[in-house]
Amino acid sequence: MFDGIDIVVLPVADTAPLHDLYADAMGFEVVEAGPVRDPGLWARLWGLPLPPADSVLLGKPGSKGGWIRLVGVPGLPPPDAAGAPDRPGAYALDFYLRDPAATEDVLGRRGWTFVSDPVDYLLPGTGHPVRERMLDQTRSGLRHAFVQYREGRTRCVLGDRPDLGVSEVNAVVFATGDLPGARTFVTDVLGGHVYFSGRFEGPAIERLLALAPGAGFDAVIARGPASRNARLEFLRHIAPAVPRPPHAHPRAVAGCAMDDLEALAARLGTGEHGPSTGIVETPDGPQLGLRSRYGACFHFWQR
């Protein structure tokens, strides 16, 4: 059963700039680092076009998921800009910030840019206010949503660690052209619980993502029984005026521990939900890779 994303794999040609972003500026700690053993095997599991050379695992000790693995892949072409969510694939990572203005100022002085000024809106279907700003993370071609942390309302490591200013990854967002299919995949194949299904629209959302007036998107957000971070989010991609080519390689891979890997492999064996590697034996135990037909790439292992 799905119970949150444990590790987000970010393949890049050079891990140094993202180490600066996540570790030096956002307070993630290095858990392990070193060369990738059996790079061909991991290229297969992560759906990479070239073998990875090294990796750095970054985490927020005390968190229950939402860690980041930077994977260095020499020769990997640079990603194109994320832009609007107008094609299938990984689109954004979400984080909670205790003092957003202070963190955003640090990132701005380090050369990172934002799509817009902060915006305020009410979470659709609720009366909960949201303060959000979107970072342009150009090294992976992703957006990063920085959301105001609210004590008692937003579950993350900040509730237990008053010394931290930035949470673990709170959600991984994938754009898809088949939102109903993605929702069925989450519930029937992964065993996740969809706790939000609604539409994001309005002037604040348009400014946040630099969308055209009147544009918006439908989304579903899922978590597991323990409500661990990071959550899994699918949004219906916005049809572009001019079609954009598909991503050349996965920009993010959602790594999830599962209760019964063999049962999951059986559900994926038909290929209905996209090509799967099947169960692969590794020095770290059995693993499974999936490039789903919903724009999301996954890496599963036995819990």
Alpha helices, H only, 146-217: 179-184, 203-209
- Residue 112: Cβ within 10 Å count: 19
Q: What is the mean pLDDT of residues 266-273?
A: 95
What is the pLDDT, as a whole number, of residue 110? 96
Proportion of the chain above pLDDT 90, given as a percent: 78
- The token pair that represents 126 in the structure block: 């609720």
pLDDT at 131: 93
Enumerate the domain spans of the chain.
7-302
Of the two residues 32 and 230, the one the predictor is more confident about is 32
Nearest to 145 by CA among 186, 205, 201, 228: 205
Given a cut of 70, whether residue 139 has pLDDT beyond it is: yes
Asked if the model's pLDDT at residue 111 lies above 80, the reply is yes
Distances (CA, A) of 253 to 115, 208, 289: 24, 24, 9
Residue 202, pLDDT > 70, answer yes
Q: Quote the tokens at residue 45.
A: 């599991």
The residue with greater pLDDT, 188 or 126, is: 188
Nearest C-alpha neighbor of 83 from the set 211, 243, 259: 211
Q: How far apart are CA 200 and CA 234, in angstroms?
A: 12
> For 142-153, what is the mean pLDDT?
90
Residue 65: φ, ψ to 5°: 115, -175
The contacts of residue 86 (CB under 8 Å, 6+ apart) are 175, 237, 238, 239, 240, 244
Position of tokens 């209905």?
272
What is the Cα–Cα distance from 157 to 279, expressed in whole angstroms? 32
CA distances from 190 to 107, 141, 236, 243, 261 (A): 36, 27, 19, 31, 10
For residue 272, CA distances in Å to 266, 285, 286, 291, 293 come to: 11, 26, 22, 11, 8
Closest residue by Cα to residue 74 from 113, 21, 158, 16: 16
* In the predicted structure, residue 287 carries a pLDDT above the cut 90: yes
Q: Alpha-carbon torsion 231, 248, 217, 95, what sign?
A: positive
Least confident of 40-44, 146-150, 151-155, 175-179: 151-155
Helix%, strand%, coil% for the chain, nearest 5 = 20, 35, 45
Q: Does domain 7-302 have CATH number 3.40.50.300?
A: no
Contact between 67 and 169 (Cβ < 8 Å): yes
Confidence of residue 227 (pLDDT cuts 50, 70, 90): low
